[in-house]
Structure 1
Amino acid sequence: MGRKRQSLPIIENVTIESIAAEGMSLFHHNDKVVFVPFGVPGDVVDVQIVKKKHKYNEGRIINMIKKSAKRIVPFCEHFGICGGCKWQMLPYQEQLKAKQQQVHDQLTRIGKVELPDFMPILGSVKTKEYRNKLEFGCCDRRWFTHEELQDPTLDLDNGNHSAIGFHIPGAFDKIYPIHKCWLMEDLHNSIRNDIEAYAKSIGMTFYDVRQQKGLLRNLMFRNSNTGEWMLLIQFHYDEEGDEAKAMQLLQHVAEQYPQITSLMYTDNQKGNDSLADLELKTFKGNSFIYEAMEDLKFKVGPKSFYQTNTEQAYQLYKVVREFCFMPLNDQEACTEAPLLYDLYTGTGTIANFVARKAKHVIGIEYVEEAIEDAKVNSQINKIENTTFFAGDMKDILTDDFIQDHGRPDIIVTDPPRAGMHPDVVNVILNARPKRLVYVSCNPATQARDLQLLDAGFIVKAVQPVDMFPHTSHVENVVLLVRK
């Protein structure tokens, strides 16, 4: 006989104390911290413990006794289900306070270096429809909520439960249908819902990720502040007639939505939806769109990396530029234009944005396609003082590389969430630039790197920037100067 499953304990009448990392809230019980999603400080709730750990527990709210005075009504009908925008019940100013505190706590507790007063966080220019890129999965059997499963009219056996939407958190094969998403301009909702209806009307199959079959697989939308729209549809050709149906759908979209200036597609037979190694075809228009920033234009293709909040990216890059070039003393104000290294340069957005104030900018990035985009962006904007290199940062940025290309006066680094490799940190320390501007999407790993960089630099300024309203994610820019 199997062991009898123990019932999950319930803690009654507790008050949520504060916001925690990763979008959780917390309270203390029996000398342990309990983390709970979707809580607001001041909520009085009953909580069921779902995970017991050595130093903390995790729970979920099962009963709201009294709502916090800070709690607001979420504006999205899919809140709490799709996995995104987990802070919609929290006023935006409270979100900003929590993010500011998150940066402060992580840099202080993990970094353990001398820090100046932090600048107030820069809130996002837009708090709705702020993203310029969204992806939606297609599935032949959608995920149902507990409430939906209680509906007596629901027929799970009729085989007509295909849908387009977002993946449920922690489940690669479960997609919840989205009717209206507030993350991007509303046109994408009209297009997506129309595609779903039209695909079903012509008998198009939707993808089954476990069986790896089904024709309609994935949608990726991009739009830009120049008014352009891109749509890339991933198909999975299984049988004769699939390609004809795909062309029929593309023709329908092209006719119905002239706003789409770049309509593309691909036949993806892989086990995942990544684009890097796929051949992409253009059905209508161009294979790219343009983003504008000040007097610069940036060419963005379906495989390009570009900050997903266009308006706030501009605010972020202005901080980077100011940290690079603001004089810290009278002597600096008189020096000649600096040599600048831009590490993890991506498509060269920061490199090109700061180039006109530099003698020369050297950009390094792992993805070769991104480096080609960076070169094109320099050409488009008639910027001639940039040079770009593709390869693994720790392999390219060596002492010999600096010997060959010049010792940088300024280094800008914008690494992935994992932070910088220790070898890269050591090369930066050996290069001894006058200043280092560190842009991070993960203040925890940034704090770890600041501790390593403390051997040669002191932190001069800290500027948090909110790129993703209604989420717990926060960017942070730190200015370090050589000791």
Structure 2
Amino acid sequence: MKLTGRIGSISDDGLGVLKVENREFYVPFTYPGDVVSVKKAKRRFGRKIATDFVLIKESSIRQAPRCSHFGTCGGCLWQGLKYREQLRLKAEVFERITGIEAEIKGSPKIWGFRNVSNFIVATSGTGLKEYGNPLGVVNLVECPVFSKRTARYLRALRDFMEETQVRPWNLRKKTGGVHYLQVKESKFTGEVMVNLIAHVDPPDEILEAFRDYFSFSDSLYWSLKTDERDDPRGEPRLVAGRHYIRERVEDVTYLIHPNSFFQTNSYALPLLMKAVEDFADGERVLDLYSGVGTFGVWLAKRGFEVAGVEVNPFAVEMARKNAELNGVSATFHVGRAEETPIGDYDTVIVDPPRKGLREVGELLAKSSVERVVYISCNPKAFRLDYERHLKKSYRIENAILIDMFPHTPHVEAVLMLEKK
């Protein structure tokens, strides 16, 4: 097979769409205006994804990628696309999915913006997954979207493993020792947390070497992983340094822990916070899916009376610590969002998981709350939530997009819903 043509559009998940002879192919790392020749494709989820193709002529909206791993690594589909075009396409895709035309705000920094990276440690390499290959690993030497110090982190890991002979994880056989190296960088305080996720409980001599190789970290953890799932999760054990590192977002300080989720772009986070703040109304705010208090503490700092609900007890503990650290009186409780009495609140903030609100949408639709601020990284989930539940009682008054994820097709949306 060899089909040549021009990429005419971009798919909802950021792939170039090629239509030739009534056949449609989805081509990764390509953009509208590119001329490509597809040699091989595989069927996946009802689509034909190009696996072997040649770029014959570059589109005028292309730029030279900064990373040497671009085109193989699955982290950055859009690094070859000019940044203004990234923003334009994100707004276009969001409108296509939701029917909502929204302003988009770009990230203040598009390089070195990520405050966390999870490097897989496998027999096939150490770094990030190959695009389209769950068993393939790109053996990284750099990651310009994460940190200038990426090479240092990876060199320390490789030297540590060479000395101690701790085995890497075998993705196919699901055996081995070290599975992930997680590094969290606080961009505004400069603090660094290193967390090694492994399937072995190390003896003292290995922990001593671990401390030596990562002596530059402010917080050093070894997390014991007892399952075979390919994710960077384990039971953390503090090896050296502090239990938490801190990130400062304007006038709010947050504690970061290996097991706590925090928005990945510290530089764009103030834009997201201010959008939520501007859309919130009244005095009393309910923060559903409150996590570690990211939005709740920010709003409480600005005079709102905030109550947060979160199903994860550890996240609630972290939220309470963040409230205490910032001297605000926000209260956070353990509970399921779908079982929470909405009560007499002026605004409800929802930042649901990627699957969306589901039954919580119906709970909100039946409530008397005048305003809902919906934060979404998945426009398809928002559309379903709105069409199935929220549309009964709310209309969309405003929306803004914040680019938390440069060089990827993803975008964060903040939507203001008013009671009809």
What TM-score, normalized to structure 1? Answer: 0.81
**Number of the residue aligned with 2:165:** 203
Match of 2:178 among 184, 192, 216: 216
Q: Please tell me the residue identity of whatever aligns with 2:410.
A: H
CA distance in 2, matches of 1:210, 1:47: 29
Alignment correspondent of 1:106: 97
Deviation sequence 1:172-194 (CA, Å, 0-9, x none): 44322111111222223212213
Q: Residue by residue, what CA displacement relative to the aligned partner does 1:77-114 show, whole Å, maximum 9, x if unpaired?
A: 11111211111111111111110001111112xxxxxx
Structure 1 Cα separation of the partners of residues 265 and 176 of structure 2: 33
Q: Distance in 2 between matches of 1:345 and 1:281?
A: 25
Gaps of 5+ in 1: 1-8, 109-114, 143-162, 326-336
Look up the SS of the partner of 1:121 in the other structure: strand
Change (3 A) 1:106 1:10: same
Aligned to 1:418: 355
Name the SS of the counterpart of 1:469 in structure 2. Answer: coil
Is the contact between residue 49 and residue 57 of structure 1 (CA under 8 Å) also seen in structure 2? no
Matched, 1:467 2:384: no
The amino acid across from 1:474 in the alignment is V
1:264 to 217, 221, 228: 221
Shift of 1:462: 1.3
Give yes or no for contact 2:180–2:232 (8 Å, CA) kept in 1. Answer: no
1:317 to 273, 287, 296: 273
1:381 to 322, 326, 350: 326
Among 128, 146, 152, the alignment partner of 2:111 is 128
1:444 and 2:380 correspond = yes
Asked if 1 retains the 8 angstrom alpha-carbon contact of 2:126 and 2:139, the reply is: yes
Q: For 1:201-229, what per-residue CA distance to the aligned partner results, in whole angstroms no more than 9, with x for missing partners?
A: 44332233444443333211001121100
Q: Could you say what secondary structure the match of 2:306 adopts?
A: strand
Letter in 2 for 1:479: M
For 1:17 and 1:436, locate their aligned partners in 2 and report how far apart those are by CA, in whole Å: 37
1:269-327 CA distance string (max 9 Å, x none): 32236566x432222210111111222211111101110101111111110100114xx
Higher relative contact order (CA 8 A, sep 6+): 1
Task: Give the AA of the match of 1:307.
Answer: Q
More strand by share: 2
- CA, structure 1 residues 361+50, in 2 after alignment: closer, same or farther (shift >3 Å)? same
- 1:254–1:284 Cα contact (<8 Å) kept: no
Q: Report if aligned partners of 2:98, 2:379 keep a CA contact under 8 Å in 1.
A: yes
SS in 1 for 2:184: strand
User: Which residue in 1 is equivalent to 2:252?
Assistant: 296
From 208, 230, 244, the equivalent of 2:193 is 230
- In structure 2, C-alpha distance between the alignment counterparts of 1:227 and 1:356, rounded to whole Å: 23
CA separation of 1:415/1:269 partners in 2, compared to 1, >3 Å: closer, same or farther?
closer
Q: Any residues of structure 2 matched to 1:20-31 within 5 Å, and which?
A: 20-31=11-22
Q: Does 1:186 align with 2:148?
A: yes
- Give runs of ≥4 in structure 1 deviating > 6 Å: none
Counterpart of 1:16, as a letter, is: I
User: How big is the alpha-carbon RMSD for the aligned residues of Structure 1 and Structure 2?
Assistant: 2.3
One-letter code aligned to 1:167: K
Q: Give the corresponding residue for 1:453.
A: 390
How far apart are the structure 1 equivalents of 2:230 and 2:15?
A: 29
Q: Are 2:94 and 1:94 aligned?
A: no
How far did residue 416 of structure 1 move?
Answer: 1.0
Distance in 2 (alpha carbons) for counterparts of 1:82 and 1:275: 18
Match of 1:138 among 121, 128, 143: 121
CA distance in 2, matches of 1:314, 1:105: 27
Per-residue deviation, 1:468: 0.6
- Counterpart CA distance in 1 for 2:172 and 2:301 is 51
- Matched to 2:213, the amino acid is V
**Contact kept? 2:168, 2:177, Cα under 8 Å:** yes
1:6 is matched with: none
Aligned with residue 253 of structure 1, among 180, 196, 213 = 213
Contact 2:160/2:213 (8 A) holds in 1? no
Question: How big is the shift at 1:121?
Answer: 0.6
More helix by share: 1
Q: Secondary structure at the match of 1:311?
A: coil
TM-score under structure 2 length normalisation: 0.93
1:147-186 alignment runs, 5 A limit: 163-186=125-148
CA 1:195–1:136: 2 relative to 1, 3 Å: same
Residue 243, structure 1, aligned to residue 234, structure 2: no
CA offset digits 1:218-274 (Å, max 9, x no partner) = 211001121100001123338xxx52452243132244x2xx110111333322365
Aligned residues: 418
The one-letter code sitting in structure 1 at the alignment partner of 2:284 is L
Secondary structure in 2 matching 1:321 = helix
Q: Quote how far apart the aligned CAs of 1:51 are.
A: 3.8
The CA deviation at 1:359 is: 5.0
State which structure, 1 or 2, has the greater radius of gyration over its C-alpha atoms. Answer: 1
